[in-house]
């Protein structure tokens, strides 16, 4: 008769049983630690480096080594002054600070005119490509573009869209930062970033 694992003596004769060890636990501990380390390195180093590489249009080693201490000046445009890269043109036509206030914050709406001069390709504008910045270097993400995460500018069309932000009442000297889609960049060039002075 076999003894259950919870007993330390034989049920038939009462002699002490040898201690049972679980070699499986020690065998899986080191591989589990290695897997966790690989996941952490991938998540915190490799994926962000690839994102920087893709966003800048450079290969991975250049993107990592090419980070400079002084940022390149971003071209600035005024309201109703169009910014055009390739076949895509974006113009800030209006801004409306919200009247309703809550928790020392308010809505801030930016109206854009977007024009696609290409007769074949559709450009997708993502709400995450438009970031509002204030004088104190605080950045605000859009709640959406036309209440959606993105907006398609069809070939040969012009559209008017609204971006809505929530900003503190104290936010001043606002600028809208925009990164043009990678498809508008010339071959071998990085994406173009612009700032609209509001």
DSSP assignment of the chain equals -PPPTT-SB-TTT-PBPPPP--HHHHHHHHHHHHHHHHHHHIIIIIHHHHHHHHHHTS-HHHHHHT--SSPPPPPEE-TT--EEETTEEEEEEEEEEEEEEETTEEEEEEEEEEEE--SS--EEEEGGGEEEE-TTS-EEE-S-BTTBSEEEE-TT-EEEEEEEEEEETT--S-EEEEE--GGGSPTTPPPPEEEEE-
Q: Is the pLDDT of residue 2 over 60?
A: no
Note if the pTM is more than 0.85: no
pLDDT (mean) for 135-148: 88
pLDDT at 41: 72
Q: What is the pLDDT of residues 95-138, one digit of tens each?
A: 999 877 778 899 999 999 999 999 999 999 988 899 999 999 89
Position 20 scores a pLDDT of: 64
pLDDT of 76: 94
């Amino acid at each position: 008769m076999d003894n259950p694992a919870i007993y330390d003596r034989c049920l038939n004769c009462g002699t002490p049983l040898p201690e049972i060890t679980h070699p499986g636990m020690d065998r899986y501990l080191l591989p589990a630690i290695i897997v966790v380390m690989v996941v952490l390195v991938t998540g915190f180093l490799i994926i962000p480096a690839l994102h920087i590489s893709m966003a800048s249009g450079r290969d991975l080693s250049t993107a990592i080594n090419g980070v400079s201490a002084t940022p390149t000046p971003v071209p600035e445009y005024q309201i109703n002054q169009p910014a055009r890269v390739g076949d895509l043109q974006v113009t800030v036509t209006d801004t409306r600070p919200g009247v309703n206030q809550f928790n020392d914050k308010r809505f801030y709406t930016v109206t854009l005119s977007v024009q696609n001069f290409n007769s074949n390709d559709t450009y997708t504008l993502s709400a995450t490509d438009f970031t509002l910045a204030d004088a104190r270097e605080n950045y605000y993400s859009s709640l959406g573009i036309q209440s959606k995460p993105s907006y398609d500018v069809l070939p040969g069309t012009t559209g008017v869209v609204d971006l809505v932000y929530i900003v503190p009442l104290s936010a001043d000297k606002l600028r809208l930062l925009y990164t043009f889609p990678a498809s508008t960049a010339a071959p071998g060039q990085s994406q173009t970033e612009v700032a609209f002075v509001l």
